[in-house]
Amino acid sequence: MTIKRDNILNVSLELFANQGYVNTSTSKIAKAAGVSEGLIFRHFGNKEGLLDAIVAIGTQSIEDYTTELLNENDPKKIISQAIDFPVIIMKENKDYWQLVSSLKFQSPEIAAKYHNTEIFKQLEEILEKAFTKLNYENPEMEMKYLFLTIAGLSSMHKQNKDEEANLNLVNFIKSKYIN
């Protein structure tokens, strides 16, 4: 029953992420998932409904990770884990992350619909507090700077396949914050 539905979900996440949402036709999805095209519309109404379902799943697992950080008290651990964020995310949710990034470049309506700020606002607060605890001169700026670095790491992971090099860089950045 839900096997085919899951099939559609998995296949279209992969296709949307790697070929783009607009470039992926429903018939392509149907073929790749081994289902009839009609089933897609039976389950998800229309193509955008399918996109909604996919994004919702991925968002959940990222929220789970942020919640972990909320329960952490040691500021150095928080910073360290925040730097790990792209590594973790990219490993387990590579396709999801790429899809969400790509949606920012779609039409303004689509971009707005899937632009999730809440998770990041939380992360920002946590990080700023961590820097405050560590007596940094300018915690807000430090937080913004680190956030930038994390954003950069995300886009790097998307392009660079050399995992060892990526990990070296992650550790190098960590060493700037934790001695």
Partner DNA sequence: GTCTATACTCCGATAGAC
Partner DNA sequence: GTCTATCGGAGTATAGAC
Residues near a second copy, by CB under 8 A: 18-20, 22-23, 98, 101-102, 104-108, 138, 141, 144-145, 147-153, 155-156, 159, 168-169, 172-173, 176
d(CA 40, CA 61): 24
Which option in a second copy, DNA, none does residue 5 bind, with CB closer than 5 to 8 A by kind?
DNA
Residue 66 contacts residue 89 (beta carbons within 8 Å): no
The answer to the question of residue 103 lying near DNA (CB under 7 A) is no
Nearer to DNA (CB atom), residue 36 or residue 155 = 36
d(CA 126, CA 123): 5
Minimum CB–partner distance for residue 120 and DNA (Å): 30
From candidates 1, 56, 161, 179, binder to DNA by CB under 7 A: 1
**Dihedral pair phi/psi, residue 134, rounded to 5°:** -85, 10
d(CA 136, CA 128): 10
Which option in a second copy, DNA, none does residue 35 bind, with CB closer than 5 to 8 A by kind?
DNA
Query: What single-letter amino acid sits at 88?
Result: I
Q: Minimal CA–CA distance to 160: which of 169, 173, 172, 148?
A: 169
User: Interaction with DNA in 17-46: which residues (CB under 7 A)?
Assistant: 24-28, 34-39, 41-43, 45-46
DSSP three-state, residue 135: coil
List of residues contacting DNA (CB under 7 A): 1-5, 24-28, 34-39, 41-43, 45-48
